[in-house]
Chain A
Amino acid sequence: MGEQTLATVDWSRAQFALTAMYHWIFVPLTLGLSFLIAFFETIYVKTGNEDWKKLTKFWMTLFGVNFAIGVATGIIMEFQFGTNWSNYSWMVGDIFGAPLAVEGIFAFFIEATFFAVMFFGWSRVSKGFHLLSTWMVAIGSNLSAVWILVANGWMQYPTAMQFNPDKARFEMQSFVDVALSPAAVQKFTHTTSSSFLLSSLFVLGVSGLFLLQKRHQLMAKRSMVVASIFGLIATAFVAFNGDESAYHIAQRQPMKLAAMEGLYDGQNNAPVVAMGIINASKKPGDKEPSFVGKVEIPGLLSLLANREAGTFVPGVNDLVYGNPEKQIVGAKQRIASGQIAVTELANYKAAKERGDAAAAATALTTFNQHRDDLGYGYLKTAADAAPPVAPTFYAFHIMIALGTLFPIIFILVLYFAWKGNLEEKGWLNKLAFISLFLGYVASQAGWVVAEVGRQPWAIQGLLPVNVAGSNLSATNVQITFFMFLTIFTVLLVAEIRIMMKQIKIGPEA
């Protein structure tokens, strides 16, 4: 496997991160708002009240504007696996491609087919079929998320596969195990429920603005009540599967957990850092303090990570350099083993090519003894096995802090709506409006934790990013990076302007 230049890999990472972050501005709103629209339309069909139809159409307009740019950024995500990560595409295409194709067949077409009915079918199909179509768009959108998240879950926790030295790729052994792996299930439930939460905040924020402006007050209050109930239910799921997710990360990606908590030296009865400032000059293996300052909750990390108080949680240094006492094999040892695997794989291929069966068999035997460390063989130093700690730590803590705030807002909205004086609570409506943006911050932060926290791996423990990319010059990727940056930014500005105008027009136009 050829190693790409660092500049190309870094620009490809930047381009993928840019595309993914832009894409993730639009997707969570699509996932959640589609269900909220389905709720609104269901109420309309049940009651026959035209106000609910107006409300449905209003949120549908915003949904459509958001959906289009989500589609535009989405296609780039799919094809970038090939254009910028071609070695990755070959090495894991046998596993990764299947969920992507299933997604295309069973999810995208539901969205694509019923989307047109939802928007343009009001007078062309019956009321019932229109409602069904709206629900199908919601279901199809969320099914779309299933398969790409299965694929992402597999990248975080590769399972049910085997390396084929003849083809130099990983091959799938069980589709069911890939689709139902705990990482995939966690990824899907946490991502979709947090998207429902974001969409509820979106509806809350826009409706809060209406109340502040004393416009469309009845419709705004109705929207806020539905969104708050949906948001509260979503919050419960987010909290539950967030805890599950952290537990699984502790078991399967301990390095990521250590970075999330800024934990360099593992310890028994490890604390959770409630808030802290990371020491930016700290590196794995040095004697610098990890934090400039911090507030801790003693023992909580051990409890959350291992579901047992007082237990040992490994830190970055344990995982980089090993900890014989705790029987942790560090990256340093695995790199040495991985380099043998790399050499023997090359020897095996060379022996096969020249028809030397005996040499090939010998090389293959040695390779098989070290195959689990193959990916480590491409790391330069042990410290390379650690992700950037500061962004992972801050992103995680921002996500948790905001995730704690949101249910309080939902409860307050429901309480004052029940009291009948929601429109008088200007401070709450301002908070609701601000939380619209905070929802996006939390959502993006979640992906930063997931993706930055698993660096340097494209596939956890198997394929580092420096051998996953395409053999391109950095200049090519730089040019496309700035092209994407320009076009996505222009389209984002257009989207925001269009949405603001539609919000100004309001649901009763």
Chain B
Amino acid sequence: MIGNLEHTLLQQLWWLIASVVGSLFLMLTFVQGGQTLIFTTAKSEEERSLIINSIGRKWELTFTTLVLFGGALFAAFPLFYATSFGGAYWVWMLILFTFIGQAVSFEYRKKPDNVLGAKIYEIFMLINGTVGILLIGAAVGTFFTGSSFTLTKFNSVIWDTPFRGLEAALNVFNVAFGLFLVFLARVLGAMYIVNHIHHDQLVARARKATLINLVFALPFLLTVLGGLLTMDGFAIDPNTGKVFMEKAKYLHNLLAMPAVPVLLLLGLVSVIYGVVATAFLKSNRGIWFGGLGTVLVGLAVFCLAGYNNTAFYPSVTSLQSSLTIYNASSSKYTLTVMSYVAIGVPFVLAYIAYVWRLMDARQLTLAELAKEENY
């Protein structure tokens, strides 16, 4: 059946799959959010250990989802992989460095003779949860604001600024997007702590933290939403394939794809309800609403960037070098094969959910940390 699908449909399907993976990654950044909360919400070494051991059992899932996001983009949209990574070199390198630090920090932080000391590993976690997420947000922001690159006729990328992608951090929209993700990650991290840790004082502070961080996130969210509703966008002429600037392109996308504003609104309401439930209704289940809401918001953002004849990785210096899901994709054959492979994804999600449920069936306590293996 998949073999009979048109190339165009496969390209759209794979943009959706990549969007789902990217959105799941955003949901799983509750780990990064938790990493920053050890500096603000935890008030003792015991509380820090509780947070780190709680999110530390999930860090690998976040990490793996990021790797899969990269792998899916490589497989489905190799020209994006080549253009963005090879061009915006420093943005991606800095993001990667923050993830190197994260990967070892959980395991090494409390081990004797760890050379750097626990504090440095905690700082690695903080950098990953702030700088790492900020830069990822800024990089995603360029899906809307564009980057400075030119593709040669052999699709080799020439980056048109010496800053190699760091210039994205000078754009208000990109920075706002990044900061929104940082605070959203902290909201999710606090919700996860409430759900997974049994410690009255820490949980009480985490409940407050969900609200405080949502308040901090709001101005950045409004900046992003305002930008999306008003900014000019990079449209594709469906007849010629040429890219041109269109006034209020993303507003037009919202209107042209009614499911997208529904996703966006449902997502935002769900996140806000998660915070309200956690902070005011004393529910432990806010993370489920927050997590689901984040996935929906992420999906809406990626749909806005890639569908409805929109260039998802636009070039501001060479408009016709802009990447679309049609000119950046793999061949029909590869996308077809990959689609068969993707049939296995629900099975993967099912065993992850099953194991997650088993492992999180009871809350983490100080008593368990004292007698069991821990970070």
Contact = CB atoms under 8 A, between A and B. Distances in A.
B108 A95 contact: no
A122 B372 CA distance: 8
Contacts of A112: 60-61, 63-64
Contacts of A491: 100, 104
Contacts of B368: 123
A483 B58 CA distance: 28
Given A75-B63, A82-B92, A98 B334 contact: yes
B237 interface: no
A111 B60 contact: yes
Given A86-B83, A487-B97, A125 B63 contact: no
B155 interface: yes
6 contacts: A87-B154, A90-B83, A93-B78, A114-B355, A124-B358, A500-B113
The main secondary structure of chain B at its interface with chain A is helix
Contacts of A84: 86
B358 A117 contact: yes
Contacts of A501: 111-113
A123 B372 contact: yes
B161 to A, nearest CB: 12
Interface in A75-123: 75-76, 78-79, 81-87, 89-90, 93-98, 100-106, 108-109, 111-117, 119-123
A495 B362 CA distance: 32
Contacts of A89: 74, 78, 81-82, 85-86
B108 A65 contact: yes
B159 interface: yes
A180 interface: no
Contacts of B107: 64-65, 67-68
Given A89-B74, A101-B74, A106-B341, 19 more contacts: A2-B154, A68-B106, A71-B103, A75-B99, A82-B74, A83-B92, A103-B71, A105-B345, A106-B348, A112-B64, A113-B61, A124-B358, A164-B331, A470-B89, A471-B159, A472-B86, A472-B89, A494-B114, A500-B113
Interface residues of B, number: 77
A74 B63 CA distance: 11
A167 interface: yes
B75 interface: yes
A79 B154 contact: no
A97 B156 contact: no
Interface of B: 53, 57-58, 60-61, 63-64, 66-68, 70-72, 74-76, 78-79, 81-87, 89-90, 92-93, 96-97, 99-101, 103-104, 106-108, 111-116, 152-159, 164, 330-331, 333-334, 337-338, 341-342, 344-345, 348, 351-352, 355-356, 358-359, 361-362, 368, 372-374
B333 A87 contact: no
A138 B163 CA distance: 43
Interface of A: 1-2, 57, 64-65, 67-69, 71-76, 78-79, 81-87, 89-90, 93-98, 100-106, 108-109, 111-117, 119-125, 129, 133, 164, 167-169, 171-173, 175, 349-350, 353, 470-472, 476, 480, 483, 487, 490-491, 493-495, 497-498, 500-502
B190 to A, nearest CB: 21
A79 B80 CA distance: 12
A471 B156 contact: yes
A33 to B, nearest CB: 15
A105 B111 contact: no
A120 B337 contact: no
A167 B108 contact: no
Most B-side CB within 10 Å, residue of A84, A97, A133:
A97
